[in-house]
Amino acid sequence: MKKNTRFAFNAYLQQLARLNGVAVEELSSKFTVEPSVQQTLEDQIQQSAAFLTLINVTPVTEQSGQLLGLGVGSTIAGTTDTTAKEREPVDPTLMVDVEYKCEQTNFDTVLTYAKLDLWAKFQDFQVRIRNAIVKRQALDRIMIGFNGVKRAKTSNRSENPLLQDVNKGWLQKIREDAPDHVMGSTTTGGETTPGAVKVGKGGEYANLDAVVMDAVNELIDVVYQDDDDLVVICGRELLSDKYFPAGQQRAGKQ
């Protein structure tokens, strides 16, 4: 490690120690991160990936329990003939019990001396280190959210390159907690049996738009079907199947 790198790295360690209220020497051992630092880190992770800003993240103090989701579950507009009856207010909120269990996820990170030497010349040395780690944490969280199906005691990155065994993701939680809202696959006792939803010639749906239309009409409550916040999230391969034929036609005309 170069001399100027050592100065920059020592300043980085001093900043970490100051934020957590510990001595620099204690950074080499285990210590509890200050709650304010935890929240700041959580905010940084969410802001480092635009998609995560759309995800509702609720901090909890217990490792496991029930998370009461507060949502809109009813319409409130109406009319009342007050000559015949009193106006009756409606509680629009919907409380849904959701089981949760917080599991430890390791984000062990190493930076080589060569990389530190490369970054040490920049004034934002500390920010570069933080951003590199935080960005990868955010991307990994998204990857687990879409692909995670279980939590192994020791995950295997080679066998599960999409982090399928690090933790249960958003889609797996839907499969287990709301199986009626899932097309294709079936989940019983936490075990998911894959099932294909065939789209295109000879399939159940003519195209991807038909799948979305059916999902909106059949899988979500009527109260939400016309919500202008609805979005469709789909994989790049599905979009390729949708737009590639159109691209081929335009290329042929040229």
User: Which run of H or E residues covers position 191?
Assistant: strand 191-193
Q: What is the pTM of this model?
A: 0.75
Say what the pLDDT of residue 162 is: 95
**Can you name the residues that pair with 65 across neighbouring β-strands?**
100
Give the CA distances from residue 76 to residues 83, 216, 224, in Å, rounded to whole numbers and listed in that order.
20, 22, 14
The residue-averaged pLDDT of 197-206 equals: 85
User: Which residue would you say has higher pLDDT here, 73 or 204?
Assistant: 204
Per-residue DSSP letter, 52 = G
The residue-averaged pLDDT of 66-85 equals: 78
Least confident of 15-24, 31-40, 155-164, 235-244: 31-40
| Mean pLDDT, the chain, integer | 83
Say what the pLDDT of residue 62 is: 81
Those residues whose C-beta lies under 8 Å from the C-beta of residue 142, and which sit 6 or more positions away, are 49, 51, 52
Let me know how many helices (H) and strands (E) the chain has, helices first: 7, 4
* Residue pLDDT, tens place only, 174-189: 888 888 888 887 777 7
Residue 80, pLDDT > 80, answer yes
- In the chain, where the domains are located: 3-71+91-147, 197-254
Give the CA distances from residue 208 to residues 147, 182, 203, in Å, rounded to whole numbers and listed in that order.
21, 16, 11
* Residue pLDDT, tens place only, 105-156: 999 888 888 988 988 888 888 888 888 888 999 999 999 999 999 999 999 9
Least confident of 22-31, 133-142, 216-225: 22-31
**Which of 168, 105, 102, 107 is CA-nearest to residue 134?**
107
Spatial contact of 80 and 57, defined as CB atoms under 8 Å apart: no
Opening angle at CA 129, ends 127 and 132, nearest 5 = 105
- Which stretches within 98-229 are classed as H helix? 113-119, 125-147, 170-177, 208-218
